[in-house]
């Protein structure tokens, strides 16, 4: 049973870069799935950020595309998210997840706060 776990700093300064990693266990990141990032600002709805295939192919939300970098490390069975030039509007719970024909399963999520 595939499980995902996000990790990374919980506090990022404005104009800095948010960096998160998602460790995949119970399955291979090289399987025929895409691997996604989704975020949820406090009290608000879900927003799809982007996803990556084990080959390195990526797709990103057009509204975030210029600031998003998603990468994969097959040797560590994990994938990562970098979001640059962050502002308070990027404060959210960030989830990593597997995308098959639906997004499932999801990690537990990690809160990232953008503040000085």
Partner 1 sequence: QSALTQPASVSGSPGQSITISCTGTSSDVGSYDLVSWYQQHPGKAPKLMIYEGSKRPSGVSNRFSGSKSGYTTSLTISGLQAEDEADYYCSSYAGDSAGYVFGTGTKVTVL
Q: Which residues bind partner 1 (CB under 8 A)?
A: 36, 38, 45-48, 50-51, 59-63, 95, 100-109
Is there a contact between 80 and 73 (Cβ–Cβ < 8 Å)? yes
Residue number with CB closer to partner 1 (12 or 97) = 97
Q: Which is nearer to partner 1, 11 or 46 (CB)?
A: 46
Find the helix or strand (DSSP H, E) in which 38 lies: strand 34-40
Minimal distance, residue 93 CB to partner 1, in Å: 9
Least distance from partner 1 to the Cβ atom of residue 14, Å: 25
The CA-based diameter of the chain, rounded to the nearest angstrom, is 41
Taking CA atoms, 75 is separated from 56, 60, 104, in Å, by 13, 23, 22
Q: Which is nearer to partner 1, 48 or 77 (CB)?
A: 48
């Amino acid at each position: 049973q595939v499980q995902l776990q996000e990790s990374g700093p919980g506090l990022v300064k404005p104009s800095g870069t948010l960096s998160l990693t998602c460790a995949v266990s119970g399955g291979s990141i090289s399987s025929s799935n895409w691997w996604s990032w989704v975020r949820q600002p406090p009290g608000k709805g879900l927003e799809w950020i982007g996803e990556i295939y084990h080959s390195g192919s990526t797709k990103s939300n057009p509204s975030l595309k210029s600031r998003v970098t998603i990468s994969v490390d097959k040797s560590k069975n994990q994938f990562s998210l970098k979001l640059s030039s962050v502002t308070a509007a990027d404060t959210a719970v960030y989830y990593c997840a597997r995308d098959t024909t639906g997004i499932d399963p999801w990690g537990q999520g990690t809160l990232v706060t953008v503040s000085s």
